[in-house]
């Protein structure tokens, strides 16, 4: 009988230990589930942040592309303006040359006119004499 009582005590202790182990495992499971929930929340927040940063990156890339396109357009306009400036400078130099030639021609014509007037005056004077 003592043997049976000893076995019964051991079984009771084993049952108590099993119940205590089950409670501890249940508590550990709840802790792990809470940790998993927290990790999932952190992960979801991280995903939201990642999506936000990806959108910002897309916006920045679009702005960069726009800026590059504007820069290229401005560079092209600058080249065109430089060509126009060179053409205008060439026209200006040609006009200056033409103006100088016209001035020389005018002076030459004025000298011829003066010479002709002198001759007309001389001829007029000699006719009346």
Q: Which of the two residues, 66 and 8, has the higher pLDDT score?
A: 66
Q: Would 17 be classed as within a structural domain?
A: yes
pLDDT tens profile 25-54: 999 999 999 999 999 999 999 999 999 999
CA atoms of 96 and 91, how far apart (whole Å)? 9
Q: Would 76 be classed as within a structural domain?
A: yes
Q: Is the pLDDT of residue 125 over 80?
A: yes
What is the separation of C-alpha 53 from the centre of its chain, rounded to a whole number of angstroms? 17
Q: Would 51 be classed as within a structural domain?
A: yes
The token pair that represents 59 in the structure block: 């916006």
Which are the contacts of 55, defined by CB distance < 8 A and separation ≥ 6? none
pLDDT category at 128 given cuts 50, 70, 90 is: low
Q: Would 128 be classed as within a structural domain?
A: no
pLDDT category at 129 given cuts 50, 70, 90 is: low
Name the DSSP letter for residue 1: -
Q: What pLDDT was estimated at residue 24?
A: 97
Q: What pLDDT was estimated at residue 62?
A: 98
Q: Would 41 be classed as within a structural domain?
A: yes
pLDDT tens profile 60-96: 999 999 999 999 999 999 999 999 999 999 999 999 9
Query: Quick check: pTM over 0.95?
Result: no
Q: Would 28 be classed as within a structural domain?
A: yes
Q: Is the pLDDT of residue 100 over 70?
A: yes
Domain containing residue 112: 1-123
CA atoms of 92 and 27, how far apart (whole Å)? 95
Q: Give the count of domains, the chain.
A: 1
Q: Would 47 be classed as within a structural domain?
A: yes
Q: What pLDDT was estimated at residue 7?
A: 86
Name the DSSP letter for residue 129: -
Q: Would 39 be classed as within a structural domain?
A: yes
């Amino acid at each position: 009988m003592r043997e049976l009582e000893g076995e019964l005590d051991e079984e009771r202790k084993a049952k108590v230990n099993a119940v205590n182990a089950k409670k501890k495992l249940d508590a550990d499971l709840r802790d792990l589930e809470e940790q998993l929930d927290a990790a999932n929340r952190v992960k979801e927040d991280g995903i939201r942040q990642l999506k936000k940063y990806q959108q910002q990156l897309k916006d920045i890339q679009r702005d960069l592309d726009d800026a590059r396109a504007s820069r290229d357009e401005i560079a092209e306009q600058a080249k065109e303006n430089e060509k126009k400036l060179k053409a205008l400078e060439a026209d200006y130099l040609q006009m200056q040359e033409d103006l100088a030639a016209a001035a020389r021609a005018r002076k030459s014509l004025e000298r011829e006119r003066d010479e002709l007037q002198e001759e007309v005056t001389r001829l007029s004077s000699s006719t009346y004499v």
